[in-house]
A and B are shown apart, each in its own frame.
Chain A
Amino acid sequence: MQKLIDLLQWGPDGWLDELASGTAVTIGLALATLPIGIAAGFIVALGKQSTDPLIRASAHLYTTVFRGLPELLTLFIVYYGAQFAVSAASRALVGAPLEISPFLAGMVALGLVLSSYASEVFLSAFRAIPREQAEAGFALGLTHSQVMRRVILPQLIRIALPGLSNQWLLLLKDTALVSVITLNDLIRETQVAVSSTKEPFFFYAVACAIYLLLSVISSAGIWRIDRWASRGTAK
């Protein structure tokens, strides 16, 4: 037992600093993906409500594809596909192949997945807001963007929040896949620790515990955001 505790020290003898830097990469990747995925999901949700049937069809196709593919496969297609395209282009332009960053590939792939799920969350939130809300706004002489910003969005955020919080927790877990394309996230740092200490059970259990801790912290944060978003509504 003492041996295991020693393995979790900070510094050159223990692995806590490695695990911490992996955790930082995991959180960084999730935080970097979140705004992109949410924004793209919002745009796709608008597309699904367009009056143009072609835009609707394109938006629905987007969701079907990226919700139906395994996240790991999306990641590989983005990573190897981008690598293929970038190295072909850079060899033609610069003469030497450029490397594609696993962080960026992870961001794009997880962003595609997140946005397709988030678009469904936004879509059902849009449908939960009575159309009279918008009509009343127009009747008061508000412009289209004012109605969106002042009338629809505040309600939309409140209604979509539980669904989006769920997506955040899924995203946090999905970042673990990026270890497969050699990004030094928590899982990969754990693998490094395992390969040199031969204590797989202990270290993977620690990794699971860190992920659990992250979701507990997230839940606390989400609770605060929810309270902020529901201000002014009857309890």
Chain B
Amino acid sequence: MGLAGNGKVSDGAATLRPAPAGRLNNVTPAGIALLALWAIIGAGVAYGLAASLNAEGLANYGPRILAGYLTTLELVVLSFAVGVVLSVPIAAGRLSRNRLAGGLAYAYSYFFRGSPLIAQIFLIYYGAGQFVPELKAAGLWWFFKNSFYCAVFAFALNTAAYQAEILSGAIRNVAPGQRETAAALGLHPRITMRKIILPQALISALRPYANEVVLLAKASAIASIVTVLDLMGQTRFAYSKTYDLSFYFWAAVLYLATVEIFSHGVNFVERRITRHLKR
């Protein structure tokens, strides 16, 4: 290398580009110290978790935490599924050339993405409490008096706004030539959308959708504030009874493991289904 005479060159270039992974010849004391710090934190958490694994705690709170975990999964799957359905008309509005439809879809999306989810849940759950006679007359009170249903409702409305942006963005990003070619072949616009645009759009939308699932899973902890006994809710209950911090670490391990397994699964799927796009 022509520039190697100046020590700073290789040094500077090195910090701007990482060395190939997997080589251990660049280990520095700082790196050892940092990793040791993580090891100590990890060991401390592991010790706390193991110490809390006594028969009494396990019998009292083990089943509760597990039930909470299942509630969290239900919450995420249900609201994401409802969100998928709701997002289609909103995405259509975002892509529409009709001013009114576009404006309404944009306003919906802006409201749900611009205000905190916690405020939206409060608005729906506590706000519904103000309209009990009306909701009873409409036969909807059974739905709004249940905090779990309210949480699913709020999450679904919220994630629908994000999903509509993902979907409309992905459709917009399909090369215009694809649609023009289909039109030149005389394909019906609906067939073009179903057979040509959507398959390509959904592949590029896979990763944003996966991110949205992860964000939703993390946000689902907020349901515990309106008394839903999800993983976070059961953890808070156990902590309020025992003042044992290790319950929060158990929750952390469960959330992290779930999110990581999911993300790696999506990575694997994405690699498989984009094989034909690799050059």
Task: Give A contacts to B, CB under 8 Å.
Answer: 46-58, 61, 64-65, 68-73, 76-77, 80-81, 84, 126, 129, 131, 134-135, 137-139, 143-144, 147, 152, 169, 173-177, 179-180, 187, 190-191, 194, 198-201, 204-205, 207-209, 211-212, 215-216
A65 touches B14 (CB 8 A): no
A212 touches B256 (CB 8 A): no
**B255: Cβ under 8 A from any A Cβ:** yes
Residues in B with CB closer than 8 Å to A51 are 14-15, 18-19, 26
- A4, B100: Cα distance in complex, Å: 30
**B209: Cβ under 8 A from any A Cβ:** no
B38 touches A58 (CB 8 A): yes
- A127, B260: Cα distance in complex, Å: 24
A52 touches B31 (CB 8 A): yes
A194 touches B16 (CB 8 A): no
24 contacts between A and B (CB under 8 A): A49-B15, A52-B28, A53-B24, A54-B27, A55-B28, A58-B35, A68-B214, A68-B218, A69-B256, A70-B220, A70-B232, A71-B221, A72-B221, A72-B224, A84-B245, A126-B16, A129-B16, A135-B13, A173-B114, A187-B116, A207-B122, A208-B119, A211-B114, A211-B119
Task: Give B contacts to A, CB under 8 Å.
Answer: 3, 6, 8-9, 11-19, 21-24, 26-28, 30-32, 34-35, 37-38, 110-111, 114-120, 122-123, 126-127, 129-131, 214, 217-222, 224-225, 232, 235-236, 239, 245, 248-249, 251-252, 255-256, 259-260
Residues in A with CB closer than 8 Å to B23 are 53
Report which of A65, A134, A135 forms a contact with B256, defined as CB distance below 8 A: A65
* Contact A53-B31, Cβ < 8 Å, known A138-B6, A200-B127: yes
- A124, B255: Cα distance in complex, Å: 26
A176 touches B119 (CB 8 A): yes
A49-B16, A49-B18, A212-B114 known, 18 other contacts, Cβ within 8 Å? A51-B15, A51-B19, A52-B28, A54-B31, A55-B28, A58-B34, A58-B38, A71-B218, A73-B232, A76-B236, A77-B245, A135-B13, A138-B8, A138-B12, A173-B114, A199-B130, A205-B127, A215-B114
Residues in A with CB closer than 8 Å to B236 are 76
A144 to chain B, nearest CB (A): 5
* Contact A176-B16, Cβ < 8 Å, known A55-B31, A198-B130, A204-B126: no
* Contact A200-B16, Cβ < 8 Å, known A53-B26, A55-B28: no
Residues in A with CB closer than 8 Å to B14 are 51
- A152, B232: Cα distance in complex, Å: 43
A70 touches B219 (CB 8 A): yes
B64 to chain A, nearest CB (A): 17
Residues in A with CB closer than 8 Å to B38 are 58, 61
Most chain-B CB neighbours within 10 Å: which of A129, A176, A199? A176
Residues in A with CB closer than 8 Å to B115 are 173, 207-209, 211-212
B12 touches A147 (CB 8 A): yes
Across the A-B interface, the 5 shortest Cβ-Cβ residue pairs? A54-B31, A201-B127, A176-B116, A70-B221, A200-B126
Classify the interface of chain B: helix, strand, loop or mixed: helix
B16 touches A134 (CB 8 A): yes
B8 to chain A, nearest CB (A): 6
Most chain-B CB neighbours within 10 Å: which of A46, A56, A198? A56
- A143, B221: Cα distance in complex, Å: 48
A73 to chain B, nearest CB (A): 6
- A47, B6: Cα distance in complex, Å: 24
A90 to chain B, nearest CB (A): 17
* CB nearest neighbor in B for A113: B218
A204 touches B221 (CB 8 A): no
B127 touches A69 (CB 8 A): no
B32 to chain A, nearest CB (A): 6
- A177, B131: Cα distance in complex, Å: 26
Residues in B with CB closer than 8 Å to A194 are 126
Residues in B with CB closer than 8 Å to A57 are 35
B119 touches A77 (CB 8 A): no
Residues in A with CB closer than 8 Å to B260 are 64, 68
- A138, B12: Cα distance in complex, Å: 8
A68 touches B259 (CB 8 A): yes
Residues in A with CB closer than 8 Å to B130 are 198-201
* Contact A72-B119, Cβ < 8 Å, known A144-B8, A144-B12, A212-B114: no
Residues in B with CB closer than 8 Å to A71 are 218, 221
* Contact A143-B8, Cβ < 8 Å, known A49-B15, A177-B118, A211-B115: yes
Residues in B with CB closer than 8 Å to A50 are 15, 18, 31
A76 to chain B, nearest CB (A): 6
